[in-house]
Structure 1
Amino acid sequence: MKNYLFFIYFIFIIACTEQQSNLKVLQGNAIGTTYTIKYLDSTGTNFELKIDSIIKAVNTSTSTYIQNSDISKINRGDTTVVVDAIFEEVFKKSEKIYRETAGDFDPTVGILVNAWGFGPGAKINNLDSLKIDSLLTFVGFNKVNLLNNKVSKLYPEIYFDFNAIGKGYLVDIVARQFEAANIENYMVEIGGEIRVRGKNEHGEFWKIAIENPNEDGTRSFATVIQLKDEAMATSGNYRKYRTTEDGKKYVHTINAKTGYATESNLLSASVISKGDCADVDGYATAFMAMGLDKSIAFIKQHTELKVFLIYANENGEIKTFASANFDN
C-alpha cells in the first residue's frame, strides 16, 4: 500500500510539474493600460504577434486617442467611414446595454467626458448648468444609428467614447484567439478586466481578488473569488478623479442623464458572467452611474449577473453588497 501511495504521489508531482512547465505568461501594454495573460500550452504556439495584431486592430477601429482611427474620424463628422467588424460589435453591444440600463450606460457621453477633462478632447473650464444642458443635446445612443456599416448621427457634435466597454472587448477578442487554438486553460487580464477558462497551472480554478476602494495608494482586498469559465469586470471612482481648488471632487464616470461627474455612495462595482467580458464591463460602468439603490434593483432583475458592490453608508462606513448568486 505504501508503494502504491508513493507511486500515486509521484505521478501527481509529475503531472503538476508538467502543468507548470506548460504555463506561459505574456505581459505588456495595451489601450493605455497593462495586460497579463496566462495560459497552459504544450504545443509551443507563440501568441505574441497575434495579440499585438489584435491590439492594433482594436485601436485602429475604436481608440479616441488615435487621430486617424475610425472612431476619431466619425467623431469629427466624417460620414464616409465604413466601419469594420470590431466597431460594429462594440456598437451593437453598447446599444443593447444602453437599452437594458435605460440609458445609464451611454458611450455617446464622450463630449461630456472631454468637457470634464477625462478624455482626449479639450476640457471646458467652469462648467455650469447651462453649458452642461447644452452639451446634453449631443448625448444619447438613441440619436445614432449603424446601417450598412456606416454610422449616422442626429447631430455632428455627437462624440463616441467606447472606453467603458473597450477593455472588456479587447479581453474577449484575445480570449477568442486562445479558444480558436483549442487552448482550454487561460486567464486574460487587461486593465483589471478578466476572462478565464479551465484551470490554472496548479489544477485549481482561477482565483481573482476584488480590491478595497483605497484612495491612499495602498492595496488591500475585500474578497477573493474563483472564476469558473467566466468573465469579470470592475469599475470604481476611488482612483480616477479630479479635485478642484474649492475641494469639489469630480469622478470619471459621467452621468449621461444629468451630465455631471459627481461622486455617489457607490465606490466599486464588480460584475461576473458566463458571457462576454465586454458586457460585464458595460454593466459595471452603468452601476457606477446608477448609484447603490438603483443598481441593487437592477441586479435583482438580472439574475444572470453575479455582482459585488462596495459602498459607503450614511455614516461613511465602508460596506459591501453581494447578489444572491454571488459565491466566493
Structure 2
Amino acid sequence: MKKLISILAISLLLFSCEKGNEIESHTYQGEALGTTYMVRYFSDDKLEFERSLDSIMDEINSSMSTYITKSDISRINRGDTTVIVDEHFVKVFSASERIYKETDGFFDPTVGVLVNAYGFGPGKPLKKIDSVKLDSLINLVGFDKINIKEERSIQKEDPSVYLDFNAIAKGYAIDVIAEYLESERVDNYLIELGGELRAKGRNLENENSWVVGIDDPNQAEGERKLYAKVQLENSAMATSGNYRKFREDSITGQKYVHTINPITGKAERSNLLSASVLAENCMLADGYATAFMALGFERTKEVLKELDNVEAFLMYSTEDGKMKVFSTPGFEKNLVE
C-alpha cells in the first residue's frame, strides 16, 4: 500500500569522475502526481527536453492525478459520467486489472475509501471501524466494480466507488518518459519519480552501470542509511516500504506494520517492512511492490512463484524482532557491494 506510507526510501547513488570531452550530462527536475521527479541523461547533441518532459507530465497529471481537481480521475470520482479517458488511463487501467487478478485482489486501486476511513498516515493511530460501517465500505471496494466501455467512458457499479492509481501511475509516467528519450536516441539515462526508477545504458561519468540504494528500515529519523545497493542496467525498480512507520510488539519485540486487507476490509498486522521489485517496466514494478506490501511476506513468496520476469528483495521481521531478507535469484545477481 504505497500511498499509506511515507515517501519511498530509495537513494540515488550517482558517482562522479572526469567527464568525457563529447558527452554531456543533463539533469532535469520537476513535479508530477503529487511528488517530484528527476531525469538524468547523457547526450552529445546538446539535446534539451524540458518542454517535452513538462508536456508529458502535464498529460499524465490531467489524466490520473487525484491531486488535481479537474483531472479525469478526479471527475470520475465525483461521479461525472461524461469523461472520456485517454490512452494513458487505458494502459494503467489494463495493467491494474492484470495485477489485481494475479494477486487475487490484493492490488486494488479502489481501496482508497478504506484508507481514508482508517485514517492511515504518518504518526496517526488507526481509527476503529464498527462492523456496520465496514460492511458498507467493503461494498465499494473491488476493481471488478469498474470497467471501461467501448467509447472509453467509465462505468461503476456504485457512483461512490473511488479510484486511485497513485500506486502504479508513477511507474507508468517513468515508462512514458523512457520511451520518449529512446525515441530521441538517448541511450544512457536514469529516471526517478517518487522513488521509482528506470535506467538504460550506463552512468557515463564513471563508465559503470547505474547504481541505486535501498534504505535500511531500521535507520533513525533524519538518518540516511543504506541496506543494499542495486545495479540497474536496462531495467526498472520500484520499492514499497514502511520505513520508520513500523510498530513493535511490547512482548515479543517483533516489528510489524498495519496494512489493509482489501478482501476483508480489515487493517491487519504485517511483518513485511519493505518490498523492492525488478520488472520489465516500471509500471509493473510499481504495482507489484504495492501489492506485495498488502499480501505480506508469506503470501508474496507464493505469488512470486507464479510470476514471470518479476524479481523481488523483501525485508521482513521475524517473531523475535530480528530483520531478515528474502531475495529471488534474479534480484540477487543485481546486488553490488
Tell me the TM-score normalised to structure 2 length: 0.84
Q: Which residue of 2 aligns with 1:234?
A: 239
Out of 190, 198, 213, the residue aligned to residue 217 of structure 2 is 213
Cα offset, 1:168, TM superposition: 0.7
Matching of residues 284-323 of structure 1 within 5 Å: 284-323=289-328
Runs of 4+ in 1 over 4 A off after TM superposition: 239-242, 249-253
- Contact 2:259–2:270 under 8 Å retained in 1: no
- Contact 1:231–1:277 under 8 Å retained in 2: yes
Shift in alpha-carbon separation, 1:20–1:166, aligned structure 2, 3 A: farther
- Contact 2:200–2:234 under 8 Å retained in 1: yes
Shift in alpha-carbon separation, 1:135–1:264, aligned structure 2, 3 A: same
Shift in alpha-carbon separation, 1:109–1:94, aligned structure 2, 3 A: same
Q: Secondary structure at the match of 1:18?
A: coil
Partner AA of 1:36 in structure 2: M
Q: Which residue of 1 aligns with 2:7?
A: none
Partner AA of 2:261 in structure 1: N
Q: Which residue of 2 aligns with 1:197?
A: 200
Q: Which residue of 2 aligns with 1:265?
A: 271
- Contact 2:109–2:143 under 8 Å retained in 1: yes
Cα offset, 1:304, TM superposition: 1.4
For 1:182 and 1:318, the matched residues in 2 are separated by: 43
Question: Over residues 83-122 of structure 1, what are the superposed CA-to-partner deviations in whole Å (9 max), with x where a residue is unaligned?
Answer: 1111111111111111111101010112222223359xxx
1:282 maps onto 2:287 in alignment: yes
Question: Over residues 168-212 of structure 1, what are the superposed CA-to-partner deviations in whole Å (9 max), with x where a residue is unaligned?
Answer: 111111111101111000000111100011111222111111111
Shift in alpha-carbon separation, 1:149–1:117, aligned structure 2, 3 A: same
Question: Over residues 255-296 of structure 1, what are the superposed CA-to-partner deviations in whole Å (9 max), with x where a residue is unaligned?
Answer: 2112234441000000002x1101110000000000000001
Cα offset, 1:325, TM superposition: 2.1
> Where does the alignment leave 5 or more consecutive residues of structure 1 unmatched?
1-14, 243-248
The two structures, once aligned, show a CA RMSD in angstroms of 2.4
For 2:303 and 2:127, the matched residues in 1 are separated by: 35
- Contact 1:19–1:40 under 8 Å retained in 2: no
Q: Secondary structure at the match of 2:312?
A: strand
> Where does the alignment leave 5 or more consecutive residues of structure 2 unmatched?
1-16, 248-254
For 2:184 and 2:261, the matched residues in 1 are separated by: 41
Shift in alpha-carbon separation, 1:210–1:250, aligned structure 2, 3 A: closer
For 2:140 and 2:45, the matched residues in 1 are separated by: 51
Identity in percent: 48
Question: Over residues 209-251 of structure 1, what are the superposed CA-to-partner deviations in whole Å (9 max), with x where a residue is unaligned?
Answer: 1111136322212211211200000001234689xxxxxx996
For 1:66 and 1:240, the matched residues in 2 are separated by: 27
1:59 maps onto 2:61 in alignment: yes
Q: Between 231-240 and 70-79, report the one with greater CA deviation.
A: 231-240
Q: Which residue of 2 aligns with 1:9?
A: none
Q: Comparing both chains, which one has the higher relative contact order based on Cα–Cα distances under 8 Å and sequence gaps of 6 or more? A: 2
Q: Secondary structure at the match of 1:297?
A: helix
Tell me the TM-score normalised to structure 1 length: 0.86
- Contact 2:84–2:153 under 8 Å retained in 1: yes
For 1:252 and 1:188, the matched residues in 2 are separated by: 30
For 1:210 and 1:91, the matched residues in 2 are separated by: 28
Partner AA of 1:115 in structure 2: A
